[in-house]
Amino acid sequence: MKRLFGLTLALVMGLAVLGGLAAPVRAQEGIRIGLVTDVGEIDDRSFNQSAWEGAQAAAEALGGTADYVQTQDPNDYATNIGLFGDQGFEYIITVGFALGDATLAAAQVYPESHFIAVDVPAAFLASDQGLDLPNLTGLVFPEDQSGFLAGVLAARMSKTGVIAAVLGTDQVVPVVKFKEGYEAGARYADPEIEILSTYHPGGLDIAFTDPAWGATTSAQAIGNRADVIFGAGGKTGNGALEEVARQTTEENPLYCIGVDTDQWETVPNAHPCLISSATKDIRKGIVDIISGLEEGTLPAGDFVGEVGLAPFHDFEDVVPQEVKDELEAVKEMLLNGELDAATGEMIEVTPEATKEG
């Protein structure tokens, strides 16, 4: 796996920004949960926001408190993590693949804190260095599966035979998995489909916070006949969705597909085109991990979160029933391991393999 290095520190008038406060306040009772965002910002209406909602929900359920450090620069990840580690927070959540190495290092420095690395297979990172870190859990997702479902939906809803994906950087493995799954799902549904996929050309400091580029790239895809566009890249992807919404008309309907969370709830400007979202339930995953750790019931190793497609909302009557039925059948095959989300190829499942699974 590609190793990404980084440190994060958000400064406002010389003070670190933790949930709008200069420093976290130690709770008199209950657990304390600290969250370090990636550069996508806490209000990205997607990835970081979902993680923050999970931290808040876990704190509320367990009678604790939650706070966050908002990343401004990818050079300060370790410093931001240390703001919580130095104060002995029971749980520290780091959000994004780019924080992997900094999280691995911090888990060794702060053994009394339990680290939850969103989108990082922590067990692999630790074993790669010969480490045994019981205080590190990775929250990972099969993004290619939800991307695959989005691709099937896109291909079935396209009238032009051209669809697109506007993506964050290819330096982040989950983004690549979303893309690969989307393309494989589209070709599974229509081998002749034309797919226009574009990664943001910038680094981690801008790839997820550039809605203007997302909008421009989306407009270019529409100009090249794409009538369904998948936006997967934080605020950059949001810009793509909103551009599709601006250009859709009753005479020439265009569709867009969101990512990570049900973006119908977070990007209302995309409602004119937002047919669904390729979801990964970060919020539930964080709650389940912390609850399981508190109860002593969490199995060892990384935690695999749930993925899927969000509801169709106002497009419930637009999506044909046969497409809905196909999506349900495809989802079942993906969950059962009968269909490879990265390639779209069928997999023979033996009774022995099913029993082991």
Q: Answer whether residue 35 is part of any domain.
A: yes
Cα 22 off chain centre by: 28
Show the tokens assigned to 299.
């199995």
Angstrom distance (rounded) from CA 67 to CA 56? 8
Place of tokens 């549904």: 189
Residue ranges with strand state E in 224-290:
228-232, 255-260, 274-280
Average pLDDT in the chain: 89
The pLDDT value given to residue 25 = 37
The pLDDT value given to residue 14 = 26
pLDDT per position as a tens digit, 139-163 = 999 999 999 999 999 999 999 999 9
Angstrom distance (rounded) from CA 315 to CA 245? 14
Contact 47, 281 (CB under 8 A): no
The pLDDT value given to residue 351 = 59
DSSP-derived letter for residue 142 is -
The pLDDT value given to residue 15 = 27
Shared domain for 236 and 341, answered yes or no, is: yes
Angstrom distance (rounded) from CA 124 to CA 128? 6
The three-state DSSP-derived secondary structure of 160-225 is CCEEEEEECCCCCHHHHHHHHHHHHHHHHHCCCCEEEEEECCCCCCCCCCCHHHHHHHHHHHHHCC
Shared domain for 205 and 136, answered yes or no, is: no
For the sheet with 228-232, list strands across it: 194-199, 162-167, 228-232, 255-260, 274-280, 307-309
Cα 281 off chain centre by: 8
Shared domain for 326 and 337, answered yes or no, is: yes
Shared domain for 160 and 252, answered yes or no, is: yes
Shared domain for 128 and 251, answered yes or no, is: no
**pLDDT higher at 11 or 102:** 102
Rounded to a whole number, what is the distance in angstroms from the first to the last CA of the chain? 25
Domain end residue (candidates: 269, 290, 311): 290
pLDDT per position as a tens digit, 201-246 = 999 889 999 999 999 999 999 999 999 999 999 999 999 999 999 9
Tell me the C-alpha to C-alpha distance, in Å, between residue 60 and each of 28, 33, 63, 281. 15, 11, 5, 18
Which structural domain, as residue segments, surrounds residue 16? Answer: 11-140+285-290
Shared domain for 134 and 147, answered yes or no, is: no
pLDDT per position as a tens digit, 114-146 = 999 999 998 777 777 888 899 999 999 999 999
Indicate the residue type of 119: D
- At 171, the pLDDT band (50, 70, 90 cuts) reads very high
Split into its structural domains, the chain has a count of 2
Section 79-86 average pLDDT: 97
pTM value is 0.87
Which CATH number belongs to the domain containing residue 186 in this structure? 3.40.50.2300
Strand, coil or helix: 152: helix
